[in-house]
Structure 1
Amino acid sequence: MKELTLETMFAVFEEIFGGGLFWTMVAVAAIVTILYLYVLIRDRSMSMRKFLLAQLSMPFGALAAVLFVQQVTDSHLRDIGGPIDVVVLLGVAALGAAGTAILVYTAQSLVRRTPRTP
């Protein structure tokens, strides 16, 4: 692998997760992103109360992402072999935390809308 291209990354992720699971995750991420943008445009501001609750969910999302990846790839924490493994694991945790925060904020905004003040 001489060049790192988008097609190469898709092939690697399809190999890791399987085609069906990978594209399902991509579709869910796209839907949540579209709903998040819809909520931001609709409300025209962010609710700090909802944002705080979303931030409080971040550690659970980080842990869930790490456990999910370990389950899907049949790996364990004892399999960490070097610094790059730690970096990848921290990246997975960071993406899981951010994704969970966006998901929680979006779900809260869709379930209970903040009343607008004049």
Structure 2
Amino acid sequence: MKELTFPTLIAVLEEMFGRGLFRTMAALAVLITVLYLYVLIRDRAVSWRKFLRAQLSMPFGAVAAVLFVQRMTHSGFGDIGGPIDVIVLLGVAALGAAGTAILVYTLQSLIRRPGA
């Protein structure tokens, strides 16, 4: 593989997670993003109280994402072989943290009335 293309990346992710799980995760990501944009447009402002709560959930999302990927790939911390493995693991943790923050903020805004 000389270059990484988008179709190649999709094929690798489908191979790692399975086609059904990968497509379900992608659909949920799109749905949560649309709901997040809806909440931002509806409220016309960011609630800093909800934002703080969402940020407090980020470490849990980072750990959950790393454990989920390790479970799906049948690997553990002892399988980390070099710097690229650490970089990928940190990237997974960062994406898990950001995704959890967006999810928590969105759920708070949808469950509670605007301005609360």
Q: SS where residue 107 of structure 1 aligns? A: helix
Matched, 1:108 2:108: yes
Alpha-carbon RMSD across the aligned residues, in angstroms, is 1.0
What is the rounded CA distance, in whole Å, between the counterparts of 1:4 and 1:46 in structure 2?
A: 37
Aligned to 2:67: 67
User: Which residue identity does 1:67 align to in structure 2?
Assistant: L
Aligned to 1:52: 52
1:3 Cα deviation (Å)? 2.0
Q: SS where residue 45 of structure 1 aligns? A: coil
Unaligned runs of 5+ in 1: none
Aligned 8 A contact 2:66 2:93 in 1: yes
Aligned to 2:85: 85
Describe the superposition over 1:50-101 as per-residue Cα deviations: whole angstroms up to 9, x where unpaired: 0000000000000000000011110000000000000000000000000000
User: Which residue identity does 1:64 align to in structure 2?
Assistant: A
1:4 Cα deviation (Å)? 1.3
Unaligned runs of 5+ in 2: none
Percent sequence identity over matched residues? 73
User: Which residue identity does 2:46 align to in structure 1?
Assistant: M
1:22 Cα deviation (Å)? 0.5
Q: SS where residue 45 of structure 2 aligns? A: coil
User: Which residue identity does 1:75 align to in structure 2?
Assistant: S
What is the rounded CA distance, in whole Å, between the counterparts of 1:115 and 1:3 in structure 2?
A: 48
Give the alignment's TM-score, normalised by structure 1. 0.96
What is the rounded CA distance, in whole Å, between the counterparts of 2:109 and 2:40 in structure 1?
A: 9
1:2 Cα deviation (Å)? 1.6
Aligned to 2:3: 3
What is the rounded CA distance, in whole Å, between the counterparts of 1:113 and 1:68 in structure 2?
A: 33
Q: SS where residue 46 of structure 2 aligns? A: coil
What is the rounded CA distance, in whole Å, between the counterparts of 1:6 and 1:40 in structure 2?
A: 29
After TM superposition, which residue ranges in structure 1, 4 or more long, deviate above 3 angstroms?
none
Q: SS where residue 90 of structure 2 aligns? A: helix
